[in-house]
A = this chain, B = another copy of it.
Amino acid sequence: MSSPLIDFRHLRFVTDELWPLSTLLTYPRYAGHSHDTFAAILEQSHKLAMEKFAPHNRLSDVDEPHLVDGRVHIIPEVKVALDAYAEAGFMALLGDEEEGGLQLPYTLALLSDAMFLAANVSTTGYTLLARGVANLLQAHGTDEQKRRYRQPILEGRYFGTMCLSEPQAGSSLSDIGTRAYVQADGSYRLVGQKMWISGGDHELSENIVHLVLAKTPDAPPGVKGISLFIVPRFLVNDDGTLGARNDVQLAGVNHKLGQRGIVNTFLKFGEREQCVGFLVGTEHQGLAQMFHMMNEARIGVGMGAIMQGMAGYRYALQYAKERRQGRHPEQKDPTSKPVALIEHADVKRMLLQQKCYVEGAFALAIYGGTLIDRQAQHADAAERRLAALKLDLLTPVIKAWSGEWCTKANDLAIQVLGGYGYTREYPVEQFWRDNRLNPIHEGANGIQGIDLLGRKVLMDGGAALEAILADLLATAAEAKTQAGLAEYAQALMRTVQRLGETTKILAACLKEGRVRLGLANASHYLTAMGHTLIAWVWLKQAVIAAKALPQATDADRDFYEGKLFACRFFFRHELPSVEPLLTLLQALDDTTLAMRSEHF
């Protein structure tokens, strides 16, 4: 089965051979499932994504949401798709069976999301935001809040938003100005402005559940004073019917470069001093509650980036196989038939880069998904703890590395198509534009680097990094004995060693209190870590491919050969770029600190 969204052979490889989903079935929560129910979910996801989401991906880019008489107008195809999604029960993929959910592992939800993200990242955004709100309420809401606000999301009747950023404080939540004043009845009145709110206003659902970060007047300064509130677009009566419109005003619609199909809004809360909000959990715990969901949200962003890259790669690959143009440099006879684009070494180089980035990042993100399930469901507390540690470290890499390099993959897809790729008659330029948001939102990439180096690799005395590097060395040890893979095993071991040394030097610098110096090149550190981890997943894939090859069928043989070539390409053309980055990091280069603003 061939699809523009994903290579199903690659998907089977990841879910059966690389990270077998059968391990998820050992967790009691998922015991009711089977290999077949998993497969059915993915098939159904693909079908729905192709039938309802993909067809309007360009249309909602061209005819983007806009204001008509103060209301957000969205092309009808979006609601049709979302209704079909809800009808299939997909809003409750993760929900408990007793609340009507499918009770699937997070990994399955992530794989399902992948199809929709490749088909139409904008329309899929509405579903992911709503799910995020439902998940957060599951973790931190009261039973009453769950009944009132979560249950309708699972049923596909309510959608949701995350209201964090403000116009004056994009990445700096410490400086948010939205205030919440407690009332005699225990509810709050909110006053403030929120910026970049995706899905902030529309008529796609009966109601919108905004989750809003705000501060009470007596709150301590900084992020420690942030609380989290439910602010519904319409108040909800005790019997679940809708009450009055809440005091949340649509103050403007942002016009984005890409992901235009999902309305992005500027919202004003409490312009009439009547914005009713309900505290989630206790006061001043808002950021911790929000960050509880952050791993999932960031892996979701990574998967969005990966699937834009994947869709672009698959389009460019097909184009390069079909279009004939030019000849090999030694073919001097101009009357000979032009060769397919893919026959040109440089075109193959660009396709290999795309393959390495998107299939590598996909494998790493799915590994992240399995860690989410493991940390929640494994019987052994130590295993849960270890999974949580690894997940914490991998999350900024999956978010930021995928965002950067899978956008690069889209850039290469354009280049493969040449002039055609530069036109809006072909889809690759839109993938590129849509993808460009991913290095920015859910914590800009620069902040992910600081999170990784300043927090994640140091936590628990470096336990997470130690565990992950041990995994890398184990794969290298296994690869070393495989014919043809020793070169890469050696390279990975060397890189792991240097990465370890580098981290020690940086950690010492940070511990000495030279924090600004230690973190000055954190983005390079994230790139080095990302390339090393992607090298690891390629070597892991190569080991499986090398073992499977001798008894593989003809079609499978090509597939496994492809995996081996991609591994070779990544280790020869990509991984070596890490060396100079580690050298720079070890030298504690302070160029960006020493240069002052006025020197520019």
If A349-B523, A572-B589 touch, does A437 touch B450 (CB 8 Å cutoff)? no
Verify B440–A419 contact, CB threshold 8 A. yes
With A440-B422, A558-B599 known as contacts, the answer to whether A523 contacts B429 (CB < 8 A) is: no
* Given A446-B344, A577-B580, A562 contacting B440 (CB threshold 8 A): no
A551 interface residue per 8 A CB criterion: no
B419 with A351: CB separation less than 8 A: no
In the complex, A569 Cα to B440 Cα: how many Å?
Answer: 24
* Also in contact, A565 and B583, with CB within 8 A (given A172-B338, A256-B423, A419-B165): no
29 contacts between A and B (CB under 8 A): A169-B325, A169-B338, A170-B325, A170-B418, A171-B418, A221-B334, A221-B335, A257-B432, A257-B433, A329-B515, A342-B600, A343-B597, A345-B519, A345-B592, A349-B521, A349-B523, A351-B600, A414-B440, A415-B444, A415-B445, A422-B436, A432-B436, A562-B595, A565-B595, A569-B595, A572-B587, A572-B591, A577-B577, A579-B579
Q: Could you tell me the distance between the alpha carbons of A591 and B488 in the complex, rounded to whole angstroms?
A: 14
Q: Check if A348 sits within 8 Å of B419, measured CB to CB.
A: no
A223 on the B face (CB < 8 A): yes
A346: Cβ under 8 A from any B Cβ:
yes
- Asked if A418 and B437 sit within 8 Å, CB to CB, the answer is no
Those of A359-394 within 8 Å (CB) of chain B: none
A597/B342 in contact, CB under 8 A: yes
A348-B592, A576-B580, A579-B579 known; A255 vs B425 contact (CB < 8 Å)? yes
- From B325, B350, B351, A172 is in contact (CB under 8 Å) with B325
Q: Contact size class for A?
A: 35 or more
Select A326's contact among B171, B349, B423, beta carbons within 8 Å: B171
Q: Contact between B196 and A419 (Cβ–Cβ < 8 Å)?
A: yes
Interface pair B561/A599, CB less than 8 Å apart: yes
Q: Does A33 contact B (CB under 8 A)?
A: no
Please determine whether A330 and B591 come into contact, CB atoms closer than 8 angstroms.
Answer: no
Complex contact A591–B352 (CB within 8 A): yes
Contact of A558 among B349, B439, B598 (CB under 8 A): B598
Q: Among B174, B256, B591, which residue has its beta carbon within 8 angstroms of that of A568?
A: B591
Known pairs A172-B325, A255-B423; list 15 more (Cβ under 8 Å): A171-B325, A254-B425, A255-B424, A257-B433, A317-B600, A328-B515, A344-B446, A346-B450, A348-B595, A351-B600, A415-B444, A558-B599, A565-B594, A569-B592, A579-B580
Nearest 10 pairs between A and B by C-beta?
A222-B334, A576-B580, A562-B599, A346-B446, A565-B595, A330-B515, A345-B520, A257-B429, A348-B592, A221-B334
In whole angstroms, how far apart are the Cα atoms of A352 and B523 in the complex?
Answer: 14
A587 to B569, CA, bound (A): 13
Contact of A346 among B333, B423, B522 (CB under 8 A): B522
A520 closest partner in B (C-beta): B345
CB neighbors of B among A179-213 (8 A): 195-196
Contact with B along A520-544 (1 / 0, CB 8 A): 1111100000000000000000000
Which residues on the B side are within 8 Å of A414 (C-beta)? 257, 436, 440
**A593 is an interface residue with CB less than 8 A from chain B:** yes
A321, B597: Cβ atoms closer than 8 Å: yes
Asked if A422 meets B256 with Cβ closer than 8 Å, knowing A446-B347, A576-B580, the reply is: yes
A222: chain B residues at CB < 8 Å are: 333-335
Given A321-B597, A513-B330, also A584-B580 (CB < 8 A) = no
Residue of A196, A223, A342, A436 with most chain B CB atoms under a 10 A cut-off: A436
- Cβ of A396 within 8 Å of any chain B Cβ, yes or no, is no
What 1/0 mask marks residues of chain A from 305 to 323 whose CB sits below 8 Å from any chain B CB? Answer: 0000000000001000100
- With a CB–CB cut-off of 8 A, which chain B residues contact A583? 576
> Nearest Cβ in chain B — how far from A178, in angstroms?
15
Q: Which of B254, B321, B338, B439 contacts A415 (CB 8 A)?
A: B439
B591 to A573, Cβ gap below 8 A? yes
Contact residue among B257, B325, B349, B516 (Cβ-Cβ distance under 8 Å from A422):
B257
Decide if A441 is an interface residue (CB 8 Å cutoff): yes
Contact partners of A224 in chain B: CB under 8 A: 334
B429 touches A600 (CB 8 A): no
User: With A and B bound together, what is the CA distance between A576 and B568 in angstroms?
Assistant: 22
Segment 267-307 of A: residues with Cβ below 8 Å from B: none
Q: Does A141 contact B (CB under 8 A)?
A: no
Residues on B with beta carbons closer than 8 Å to the beta carbon of A439: 415
A327 contacts chain B at the CB level, 8 A cutoff: yes
A326 vs B171: C-alpha distance in the bound complex, in angstroms?
A: 7
